[in-house]
Amino acid sequence: MIHRLTILPEEICVPVREGETILSAICRAGFTYRFGCRRGGCAVCKVRVLAGDVAYERPIDASLVSEQEGAGGIRLSCRAVPTSDVVIALQSDDHLTIVNPWVSKLEQSFQ
């Protein structure tokens, strides 16, 4: 099953494969953004989930996202796996950058 991941503020839309993390889906679509260890340990890749559902399928360090942040939709994008269509916002001082224009152009046709 493929879910649709929409990233604000650019409103870029990328497909998500079954079991794929937000980070993996964005990178596979030819984009990059600010992330760190990619293994749930550093919290540099926090994003805000505005709509839809995500699940952690592997353990993270629970102290990295406060209760208040969690209630506000903050998740570690390297470990969060969409289980429905999802809309996320990157951190306010971050943005998507195209690193693989061949793929990112193709992925736009998904919209």
Which residues contact another protein by CB under 8 A?
34, 36-42, 44, 58-63
Q: How far is the CB of 23 from another protein (least distance, A)?
A: 10
Residue 9: cis peptide before it, omega within 30 degrees of 0:
yes
Bridge partners (DSSP) listed for residue 46:
76
CA geometry: angle at 8 spanning 6 and 14, to 5°? 25
Q: Of the candidates 96, 104, 98, 45, which has an alpha carbon nearest to the alpha carbon of residue 75? A: 45
Of the pair 30, 40, the CB lying nearest another protein is at 40
Of the pair 13, 44, the CB lying nearest another protein is at 44
Please return the burial class of 94, using the count of CB atoms within 10 Å of its CB with bins 0-12, 13-18 and 19+.
Answer: middle
Q: How far is the CB of 57 from another protein (least distance, A)?
A: 11
Q: How far is the CB of 108 from another protein (least distance, A)?
A: 26
- The Cα–Cα gap between 89 and 68 comes to 17
Of the pair 20, 85, the CB lying nearest another protein is at 20
Q: How far is the CB of 14 from another protein (least distance, A)?
A: 20
Of the pair 6, 76, the CB lying nearest another protein is at 76
